[in-house]
Amino acid sequence: MPKAVKKAIRLKINAMTNIELLNFVKSKAKLWLESAIDSDSKKEIENLIQNDETELIESFYKDLEFGTGGLRGIMGVGTNRMNIYTVGMATQGLTNYLKQQFVNTKEIKVAIAYDSRNNSRLFAEKTASVFSANGIKVFLFENLRPTPELSYAVRKLSCQSGIVVTASHNPKEYNGYKVYWEDGGQIISPHDKNIVAEVQKIKNVNEIRFDDKLTKVEIIGEKIDKDYLKEITKLSLHPKVIKNQKDLKIVYTPIHGTGVDLVPKALKAFGFENINIVEEQKIPDGNFPTVKSPNPEEPAALALALKKAKEIDADIVMATDPDADRVGIAIKDHKNEFILLNGNQAAALLINYLISQWKATGKLKGKEYIVKTIVTSEILKDIADKYDVECFDVLTGFKYIADIIKQNEGKMKFIGGGEESYGYLAGEFVRDKDAVMSCALLAETAAWAKEKGKTLYEELIDIYIEFGFYKEKLISIVRKGKSGAEEIQKMMNDFRSNPPQTINNSNVMLIHDFEKQKTFDQLSHLRYDINLPKSNVLQFILKDGSKISVRPSGTEPKIKFYFGVHQKLEKREDFEKVDKLLDEKIENIKESLNIN
């Protein structure tokens, strides 16, 4: 445990309420000792009671929250930790809800996958055990698999739900548990809140039913892999181009995660032959020994991949997170130096390629669409508009993109979608962000550009020349503790009750308040409905086209500011100059809003 956390807990213990707090925690620990938990867990609890009151409090002072997406927390013993019993209680609650919802279904079925994190296999097996004990059929992957393959398997196997054990890109101490519904997407309203309510009803470890023989569990793997890869291969738009560019130099790292097997297979299935995997990060390892954080958004996570790329003069570098649903990429600039693209830039390259080549190959029939989140670059909408493709905006979270696909199934054709946090999707057979298919399609985009005598860097700049140079930046302000939460809420209240009239000398034209589900037109003073679920998000649209979004983080003590600015770009030679001007514009907006 970090020293700062231990110090904070010690201060809490030394406060006037320390006796009540310790008694409360010990009573919860005693209930666990008296329950049917294993002997090793009992020994660990007894050791905490006798030797480490600080850790005892941290482990038991609250229950690990089952949120609208599932569980995520530090692994260890106790009610506030990820362990087989908190996972079991969550699964028992989900089981009870599934039985309520599918009372007329002959056999309820669930698929389970897991990543390379420590204890992921154990948690997956215990989850399967609970489902099996409750008479639910389980399809359990034989070993680690990417999150998007779980989404695919839910629909392929006609399951009513799915679970993937992962904590995505969190540090090694964490693990998690994400819940999917029968459409292959993560749970949304009303199921999310209803499942939370059922999980909260499980008050005691003894209420969990386990089936150690895994009676109703079927192991799956290779057959689903082949079917999944076959669907991904169908997404390729230019096999002949890839054949010409089969030697495109690709560097790939799974960062010790689940992408190690299927990403190279997907690339090979597309026709790429020069795939170079970062050896130091090839072995799945929940300790992530070569990185501080296995997050492809962070430059340090790609350091070894970039080193290899420089050695072989690669065309493109790709890195996937531990559960292989997000991908970060690097490309060479005009100086032949590798630069990391942000999620908006990668999305622009991918969506422009998909839509333009759907058009070129005669696949556009007039009922196609893309989806992006409200904080993702508006350049995606501009690209869609050019080709008369509809663009849907949704709240932050890929589950909302999945919901749009479900709503339009059989009515319109989904081309692709994405979010600024490095998640992309094409096709309709997966209902979550998919780094396996994204790696293959981004490599195809690079091959397509190379076939035209261009680099991906030049392709990106040409997109900016055509649609305008869009630049985005995310600033997160951390405010910890109770006082921090209050400060964040006050900031949101102030923005909502006293919104700025101008920002950086540009008039605020529209205010989108997603909590009130209203748009306020500052010129006409008219109000318009926002047909999206309630969410504590504000957006300010300025006269010069800038977009500022503000929202508290749902999982961390942060308030996030998303800045989107743009300007006309006449020619490639002006790129660096305009890039600098846009950076200055973002800094001026931050200063105007007193954001440090």
Q: How many CB atoms lie within 10 A of CB 56?
A: 24
Q: Which of 41, 132, 151, 168 is catalytic?
A: 168
For residue 306, which of 315, 295, 317 has the smallest C-alpha distance?
317
Active site residue 151: no
Give 207's DSSP letter.
Answer: G
Radius of gyration (C-alpha) of the chain in whole angstroms: 25
Cα separation, 153 vs 126, in Å, equals 20
- 503 close to 540: Cβ distance less than 8 angstroms: yes
Q: Three-state SS for 251? A: strand
- 80 close to 73: Cβ distance less than 8 angstroms: yes
- C-beta pairs of 572-581 under 8 Å, 24+ apart in sequence: 572/334, 572/458, 572/461, 572/462, 572/465, 575/461, 575/464, 575/469, 578/469, 579/469, 579/471
Structure tokens given for 235? 């997404």
Cα separation, 259 vs 306, in Å, equals 18
Structure tokens given for 384? 């869609």
Look-up: residue for tokens 């590798």? 338
Give me the helices (H) in 146-238, please. Answer: 147-156, 191-200, 222-233
- 450 close to 245: Cβ distance less than 8 angstroms: yes
Cα separation, 283 vs 288, in Å, equals 10
Q: Three-state SS for 581? A: helix
- 380 close to 348: Cβ distance less than 8 angstroms: yes
* Amino acid, single-letter form, for residue 544: D
- 128 close to 139: Cβ distance less than 8 angstroms: no
Q: How many CB atoms lie within 10 A of CB 111?
A: 31
The end-to-end CA distance of the chain, in Å, is 29
For residue 325, which of 259, 380, 269 has the smallest C-alpha distance?
259
- Please list, in sequence order, all residues whose beta carbon lies within 8 angstroms of the beta carbon of residue 559, skipping any fewer than 6 positions away: 476, 477, 479, 488, 491, 492, 550, 551, 552, 553
Cα separation, 225 vs 436, in Å, equals 12
Would you call 254 exposed, middle or buried from its count of C-beta atoms within 10 A (0-12, 13-18, 19+)? buried
* Amino acid, single-letter form, for residue 417: G
Cα separation, 43 vs 420, in Å, equals 45
Cα separation, 424 vs 351, in Å, equals 9
Active site positions, annotated:
168
